[in-house]
Amino acid sequence: MELFDLSRSIDAHQASMAQSREEAVGGVTSGLISLGEEVSWRARHFGVPLRMTNKITQMQVGESFTDEQLRGPFKHFRHVHQFSSHAGITTMVDHVHFAAPLGPLGLLVERLVLAKYLRRLIEERNRFLTGITP
């Protein structure tokens, strides 16, 4: 349950993404975000200032939650966080489904840049949350 709560902590997210200066600027801006709640983020990625509003659209306490983009840079963005425990060890698995805007150009950017970039961001965030250093 500790990792589940840490994963939906706005404060922990901001700390883990300090490099991109992610800041909660609307909706739930600190503490734990819950089902039906929204958070708006301001960040800088690839040197570009971005804003994104996400909503928690599904939650099974201790097992999973899903956040989805309502407004932002993606054509669509859905992030499913799944948790399981066995023998006192909690495993966290992230499933990210997204599409860039701009049709064929966006698809090219997805394949060449965005998929790897998002994977690295999520891995970095998860290392921060679990206290594991590379």
Residue ranges of domains in the chain: 2-130
Predicted local distance difference test score (pLDDT) of residue 134: 56
Give me the CATH topology for the region 2-130: Alpha-D-Glucose-1,6-Bisphosphate; Chain A, domain 4 (3.30.530)
Predicted local distance difference test score (pLDDT) of residue 133: 58
Burial of 10 (0-12, 13-18, 19+ CB in 10 A): buried
Q: Hey, what are 69's tokens?
A: 């983009």
Predicted local distance difference test score (pLDDT) of residue 1: 79
- pTM value > 0.85: yes
Q: Along the chain (134 residues), what's the average pLDDT of each consecutive run of 10 residues? A: 94 94 97 98 95 98 97 97 93 96 94 96 93 68
Burial of 53 (0-12, 13-18, 19+ CB in 10 A): middle
